[in-house]
Amino acid sequence: MSASEQILIVGGGQGIGAALAAAHEGRATVWTRSTGVDATDPASLQAAFATYQAEHGAPYALLHCVGDFAEQPLLSTDAATWRHLLASNLDSAFHVIQAVVPAMVAAGRPGRVVLFAAAGVDKDKGMLRAPAYFAAKAAVVQLARSLALETAAAGVTVNVVAPGLIDHPHSHRDSQRRMLPRVPAGRLGSTGDIVAAVGYLLSPAAAYVTGQVLTVDGGLQA
């Protein structure tokens, strides 16, 4: 990836997204609600991308970092929370993909799509801690794997980064403190750990890597 190649970061206002935006300052455009783009609203995304494309063309990379979290048992999760988690984590990814990726494919050059899930959601096991959230993130993984097959011939790779317990100003500290003993590495991850993983997926070294989940969790035993 050259310094001139443009990166579009959806949800780069805080946490991991903000760290990615800082790491790619100068070539990254950030979309958040505060910048007037609602990732759950197809019309908002289409309008924003029309403006973006007129200025930059298709981006080299699309990073989707949107996704609210709720730690709640499934049987006590109400319908409103369920719909919110699906809209924030899954619907937003779908709408962003539809708004941006066709132009990346049509550009006729290599490109990268990176979506975010959560450590363990691609495994064959139940997850008690936040089942509605993890269900949405598991669907994101399947979305990415399917999209990877559609875009591979065009040279656009699609991969997922699945973070474990990552320390940042907006992380869920109580949950992380409770889960930390299950991390063999003995520490929380940093946003730098995620930035490095994404950097690999954006690099020429990952040109033949697509449809994969890169877990960054210190060995978390969820």
pLDDT in tens, the chain (222 residues): 665 699 999 998 899 999 999 999 999 999 999 999 999 999 999 999 999 999 999 999 999 999 999 999 999 999 999 999 999 999 999 999 999 999 999 999 999 999 999 999 999 888 888 999 999 999 999 999 999 999 999 999 999 999 999 998 877 888 888 899 999 999 999 999 999 999 999 999 999 999 999 999 999 987
Helix (H) or strand (E) holding 189: strand 189-190
For 210, phi then psi, to 5°, come to -150, 150
CATH class of 7-216: alpha beta
> 54 CB contacts (<8 Å, ≥6 apart)?
none
Q: CB 4: neighbour CB atoms within 10 A?
A: 8
- Six token digits for residue 142: 């399947």
pTM of the model: 0.95
Indicate the SS3 state at residue 91.
helix
Measure CA 123 to chain center: 18
Which among 119, 138, 96 has a CA at the least distance from the CA of 9? 96
Catalytic residues: 133
Q: What secondary structure letter does DSSP report for 118?
A: -
CB 18 within 8 A of CB 65: no
The CA-atom distances, in angstroms, between 154 and each of 97, 106, 203, 204 are 15, 8, 17, 15
Looking at residue 185, the DSSP 8-state letter turns out to be: T
For residue 30, which phi and psi values (nearest 5 degrees)? Answer: -110, 130
What token pair was written down for 4? 């001139």
> What residues contact 198, with CB distance under 8 A and at least 6 apart?
20, 63, 114, 161
Contact (Cβ atoms closer than 8 angstroms) between residue 104 and residue 111 = yes
